Amino acid sequence: MARNLLTRDSANGYRQKQVLFDALYLRSNIAPISSGQATLTVTFTSTVPDTNYTVAANFQNTTDTNPQFQPITITAKTTGGFTAKWNANTDTANYSLTYQIMPLV
């Protein structure tokens, strides 16, 4: 079954794009990070059709009084998951990586 999605084009306008419903995939989860880590590989519970997806990832730490603030960079993507890296090792085991993925359309 196909669905029409509203997408933004390069001219800052909007257009409709027809996408097969089966091709849409979304994943979200919270992955724990051990103390002293500067990278994490996330594995999906089931594969996605291709690597044409975007990842929105953030640190979560609701325990430490002064948590680290670090940018996260996605350095690899496969149909089975992705790898995230940041600048410095985590200082405690109270961090998690929250993420969502969705296809690029």
Q: What's the CA gap between 13 and 96, in Å, rounded?
A: 37
pLDDT at 24 over 80: no
CATH of the domain at 83: 2.60.40.2080
Task: Indicate the pairing of strand 14-20 with strand 2-8.
Answer: antiparallel
Query: Could you tell me the pLDDT band of residue 6, with boundaries at 50, 70 and 90?
Result: low
The chain-wide mean pLDDT, for the chain, equals 87
DSSP symbols for 53-79:
EEEEEEEE-SS-SS------EEEEEET
7 falls within a domain: no
The model's pLDDT over 62-105, given as tens digits with 9 standing for 90+, comes to 999 999 999 999 999 999 999 999 999 999 999 999 999 988 76
Within-domain flag for 19: no
- What is the structure's pLDDT at 40? 98
The two structure tokens encoding residue 18:
């027809």
Domain span at 94: 25-103
How many domains would you assign to the chain?
A: 1
H-run or E-run covering 99: strand 95-103
Task: Indicate yes or no: pTM above 0.85.
Answer: no
43 backbone dihedrals φ, ψ, rounded to 5°: -115, 125
* Residue 2 belongs to a domain: no
Cα-to-chain-centroid distance, residue 99: 4
More confident residue, 8 or 38: 38
- pLDDT band with cut points at 50, 70 and 90 for residue 15: confident
Residue with token string 């975007």: 54
